[in-house]
Amino acid sequence: MLGLILLASILLQTISVLASYNPTCANNVVTYWGQNSWGGAHLDDPDHWEKPLASYCEGSTFDIINISFLTNFNLTGLPVLNHAFHCETTYNYTNTLHCPDIGADIKTCQKNGKKIVLSLGGGNIYTYGLGSAADGQAFADTVWNMFLGGSHKYRPYDDAVLDGVDLDIESGEHTGYAAFINQLRSHFKDASKEYIISAAPQCVYPDANLGTTISAAYIDNDYVQFYNNPCNLANIDNKWNFQYDSWDQLTKSNSNPNSRMYVGLPAGQGAAGNGYLVLGTVQKNLAQLYATYPSTFGGIMLWDASWYTNNKDYVEGLASWVKDNMKCGSSPAPSSTPPAPEPTQTT
């Protein structure tokens, strides 16, 4: 009997570890790692700063983790990353980080069924932008070679191959992002794995920096930030401030028929300027959105991973509630990789 109990325990642990992202599901949970936002407000308490990436991949709480951020595209040279205190070593004579420990953690997370995605941009303290289709195409080649399935002398995470790219674009020139995505998709078509392309717009509709890109490009997931704005989730019943229906329609109109929308939320009281709600209220509001918009509902996004350690009961409670109450599709989704796009005209 003891042997059977031990076996059952091992199987349950394995199932928990192997819980993974499914694009047909409405119960995926996404977070961002790498900015240590809790630590930024608690500089005198390093014991509670954000933990190494792999520590967030040990259970079933998160399905996708976006590594934040690639903050300077540096189109004439090598891109620049910022991962707070997690990695500060650069390749010789460059400003490009070399983070072998993060690379090893990426592989560990992927073995545990997690998708690890590179997020570009971040808050407007950073400088970046793609001002033309030509810039977008060239930068896509750089990202493919340095972070995804290509090859490059300077790969920040060594031979770890990330699972896609996220656009958290909050400033700068933005006319080149559709071409950037199209060029990445042209690389994906011959790849041996599926890649994710996501966007993280502000909830104000339309988003000034990503609205046209989401309309024009093949997007898998939209992580709409329902915080730091009047359109936060607390205003769900205010039709003037809370424009979820517009985001739902934009998601439905995307050229990807499986495009999904996620409700972006702060993972702690201090993680955002507004939008943090007590657990019962956020659950009630999410249930209302899921019941009204089931075809595009993909799950939730939480900013950020550093709050998991410092608000663990809340984050785990919310994540487990989403996984228990939102459902999955009954059949596998078609490949998220579309046919290769037509060449973009440049001038």
Active-site residues, by number, are 170
H and E: helices and strands count for the chain: 10, 9
DSSP H or E run through 14:
helix 2-18
Write the DSSP string, 80-98.
EE--TTS---B-TTSS-B-
Of 197, 187, 141, 146, the closest CA to residue 167 belongs to: 197
**Residue whose entry in the numeric block shows the structure tokens 């994710």:** 196
Of 121, 124, 106, 118, the closest CA to residue 53 belongs to: 106
Q: Note the Cα 274 to chain centre separation in Å.
A: 20
Of 112, 22, 19, 113, the closest CA to residue 328 belongs to: 22
Of 31, 148, 30, 122, the closest CA to residue 69 belongs to: 122
Rounding to the nearest 10 degrees, give the CA dihedral for residues 100, 103, 104, 108.
170
